[in-house]
């Protein structure tokens, strides 16, 4: 998927290759996904910092929607004994994987996380200071009414002063049928496959494939059936859901003038680029 580093990628720069331990036969798709797609340290730092700057205090309770392997949750509770979290996912498989590989290694601290095998529209045990939906997963909601309902529930469920943060991607490249392969220094390639896009419904099908140095491939390791939402329409739906304020955080540009630099700041207009990743930050 167009990760936060999508615009950062310099396609001419080949990663230094380690001898690879990965092949389609032996690989674990959740491990590969986390390595290829997620940047938990950066994401958690961004979210914690954002809340601190907006509210002049530290967020303590965090909620990760569409959590998959609850990687962000595990990083959140690792911040210290006062940090607690809840993770929501309808699929028990990634939750169980995450409990074993991301939480158990934390020892007793793992008790500060609660994993819910539930729909992301369900209420939290405790109202979160920060609630997030990452990697565009909330695009499973394909109608405006469904999205509005999810956003309304998210607002109501937040603690006073809480923030709800969703990421999104856009730009003309996201409508093109194409496969983008990224070679990772861990010793495998990650392929983002934009398979179908239907302009009348805005529905799109995407897949993730993994390729390995021994020539093997794991096709369709993950598949997504989403609606491609536009930034402006999502912002308006968040406003209609009753959030007091909604801002866009846009990625800055690297020294090469073309790639993103991984630094997201509040902006009003953005920049007309082929592909971008941005955040919408909604304040209760």
Site residues (vs ligand SAM, CB under 6 A): 37-38, 66-68, 88-91, 94, 119-120, 134-135, 137, 140
CB of 122 to ligand SAM, least distance (A): 8
In the bound state with ligand SAM, the residue whose beta carbon lies nearer, of 57 and 100, is 100
In the bound state with ligand SAM, the residue whose beta carbon lies nearer, of 70 and 163, is 70
Which helix (H) or strand (E) segment is 173 a member of? none
In the bound state with ligand SAM, the residue whose beta carbon lies nearer, of 68 and 171, is 68
CA-nearest of 169, 170, 171, 225 to 197 is 225
CB of 138 to ligand SAM, least distance (A): 8
Pairwise CA distance, residues 37 & 221, whole Å: 13
Residue nearest ligand SAM, Cβ-based: 68
CA-nearest of 37, 20, 36, 34 to 213 is 20
CB of 102 to ligand SAM, least distance (A): 11
CB of 45 to ligand SAM, least distance (A): 15
In the bound state with ligand SAM, the residue whose beta carbon lies nearer, of 37 and 147, is 37
CB 24 within 8 A of CB 58: no
Pairwise CA distance, residues 57 & 12, whole Å: 43
In the bound state with ligand SAM, the residue whose beta carbon lies nearer, of 135 and 189, is 135
CB of 71 to ligand SAM, least distance (A): 7
CB of 88 to ligand SAM, least distance (A): 5
In the bound state with ligand SAM, the residue whose beta carbon lies nearer, of 179 and 214, is 179
189-197 long-range contacts, Cβ below 8 Å, gap at least 24? Answer: 190/32, 190/36, 190/37, 192/1, 192/2, 197/228
In the bound state with ligand SAM, the residue whose beta carbon lies nearer, of 37 and 130, is 37
Pairwise CA distance, residues 117 & 38, whole Å: 21
**In whole angstroms, how far apart are CA 148 and each of 30, 242, 258?**
30, 10, 34
CB of 47 to ligand SAM, least distance (A): 12
| Runs of H (alpha helix) within the chain | 29-37, 40-55, 71-77, 92-98, 144-157, 231-240
């Amino acid at each position: 998927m167009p990760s936060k580093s999508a615009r950062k990628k310099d396609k001419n720069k080949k990663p230094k290759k380690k001898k690879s331990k990965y092949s389609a036969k032996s690989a674990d798709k959740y491990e590969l996904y986390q390595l290829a797609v997620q940047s938990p340290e950066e994401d958690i730092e961004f979210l914690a910092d954002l809340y601190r700057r907006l509210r002049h205090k530290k967020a303590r309770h965090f909620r990760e929607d569409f959590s998959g392997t609850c990687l962000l949750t595990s990083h959140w509770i690792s911040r210290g004994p006062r940090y607690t979290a809840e993770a929501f996912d309808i699929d028990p498989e990634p939750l169980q994987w995450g409990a074993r590989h991301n939480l158990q290694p934390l020892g007793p601290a793992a008790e500060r996380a609660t994993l819910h095998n539930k729909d992301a529209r369900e209420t939290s045990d405790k109202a979160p200071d920060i609630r997030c939906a990452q990697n565009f997963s909330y695009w499973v909601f394909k109608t405006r009414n469904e999205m509005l309902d999810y956003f309304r529930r998210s607002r109501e469920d937040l603690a006073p002063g809480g923030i709800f943060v969703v990421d999104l991607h856009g730009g003309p490249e996201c409508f093109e049928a194409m496969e983008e392969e990224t070679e990772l220094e861990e010793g495998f390639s990650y392929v983002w496959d934009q398979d179908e896009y239907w302009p009348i419904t805005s529905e799109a099908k995407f897949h993730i494939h993994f390729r390995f140095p021994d020539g093997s491939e794991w096709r369709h390791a993950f598949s997504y059936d989403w609606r491609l939402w536009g930034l402006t329409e999502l912002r308006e739906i968040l406003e209609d859901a009753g959030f007091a304020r909604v801002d866009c955080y846009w990625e800055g540009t690297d020294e090469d003038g073309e790639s993103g630099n991984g630094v997201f700041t509040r902006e009003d207009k953005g920049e007309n680029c082929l592909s971008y990743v941005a955040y919408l930050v909604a304040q209760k």
